[in-house]
Amino acid sequence: MQKQRTATVLHVDLDAFFVSMELLRRPELRGQPVVVAGGLGPRGVVNTCSYEARAFGVRSAMPVSRARQLCPHAAYLESDYGYYSAASRTFHAILRDYTPLVEPAGADEAYLDVAGTGRLFGEPAEIAATIRRRIRDDIGITGSVGVSINKLVSKVASDAGKPDGLVVVPAGEEAAFLAPRPIRELPMVGPKTAATLAGLGVHTIGDLAALPVSVFEARFGKHGHELHLRSLGIYDAPVLDGRGEAKSVSRETTFGDDEPDGERLRGVLLGQAERVAADLRKQGKAARTVTLKLRFPPFETLTRSATSPRPLHLATELFEAASTLFERAWAENARRPVRLVGLGATNLQEGAHQLGLGETMEADDLARAVSGLRDRFGEAVIRRGAEVHTHRGLHEED
């Protein structure tokens, strides 16, 4: 049974956000293929692209070199993170005008639960329409909204409405809405899983829902049951207020292709340690426990944790703890290719740092400088050398 039986959950997603922002100041490019990338050189990666470019097969996280092969006549622009961040702040401020329950899912998307706000702002569909209008009026771009009883179905609905659409899935119609949609539109199904399912004759979400639970569990282990529930539109995770005090800080990276290279995995883990450390610093926190998360194909996930006798707050400290866990866990699993790697910091406490004998504040100063640059210009503005060659074919989540 679903815990939430009224369609009050919204997923709001700005349409091709970076491209839309570029078209505001480059209107002559409207209607043309446009690609916005984090770097235009041989190691550049597509951040997003216009729908005209997508028609040629260009996709987010694709190497720019591949995008140029598919669509050589597109306009290629380098990302301007400072320009986009102002619009992102306006976007999230708009959402908070309608409910305190706003869960950011990135610079350009968020989940809302508008239960109990009807007397002030109308029915959920009316609120969704108002939000879309304000995005257009206040920012000058478009957004798509999905409305349903939970985050999973609302996410699929907003994607189905793109661009510039509103899709409402009434309570009780989740499975019927999902059934005809391609299997890749279901969150949790990546290309490898989709290929496995195609071998079972599964091409739509409805095909997936029709399989016996025993088939799921035999093929995907304990994650098979969750996959079955999702195919029916059953998902109980609530919308969380993103402004509440965090009890943990984490980063996860899902690879476009299962990653066998230990050097690349360590580089990604190091980058995650830097970002987690920056988040801890902003909150004035330190962590006693570091958690490693690894996922092997298709859905075999393991976690390993270690608790330190003293609080940790520097990236080097977090990485040292996580890499020790990684080396042991990866070796225990025959160094198989990895689908996802994540680093988490829990058991948080106030972040006062006592200097050890001979220790200086230089590491803190450097970390603050790096964090400030990333806040102002975006994540890609500065990277450690070990991480540079890893930023291809990845999807990173907070």
Percent of the chain with pLDDT over 90: 55
* pLDDT greater than 70 at residue 1: no
User: Rounded distance, CA 391 to CA 357, Å?
Assistant: 37
- Start-to-end Cα distance in the chain: 29
Q: What is the pLDDT of residue 394?
A: 46
Catalytic residue annotation: 109
Q: 175-231, what's its fold? A: DNA polymerase; domain 1 (1.10.150)
pLDDT digits (tens, 9 = 90+) for 146-182: 999 999 999 999 999 999 999 999 999 999 999 999 9
pLDDT digits (tens, 9 = 90+) for 42-54: 768 888 999 999 9
DSSP 8-state secondary structure symbol assigned to residue 81: H
What is the bridge-based pairing of β-strands 102-106 and 109-113?
A: antiparallel
3-class state of residue 55 by DSSP:
coil
How many degrees, rounded to 5, is the angle at CA 153 between CA 147 and CA 159?
A: 75
9-15+83-172 to CATH, choices 3.30.70.270, 3.40.50.300, 3.10.20.70, 3.40.50.720: 3.30.70.270
User: Rounded distance, CA 195 to CA 184, Å?
Assistant: 10
Domain-wise residue ranges, the chain: 9-15+83-172, 17-80, 175-231, 249-397
Average pLDDT over residues 121-132: 96
Assigned token pair, 349: 């406490």
CATH class of 17-80: alpha beta
Place of tokens 């006592």: 354
pLDDT digits (tens, 9 = 90+) for 259-296: 999 999 999 999 899 999 988 888 888 998 999 999 98
Q: What residues have CB less than 8 Å from 139, skipping those under 6 apart? A: 87, 90, 91
CATH class of 249-397: alpha beta
* pLDDT greater than 90 at residue 225: no
Q: What is the pLDDT of residue 383?
A: 56
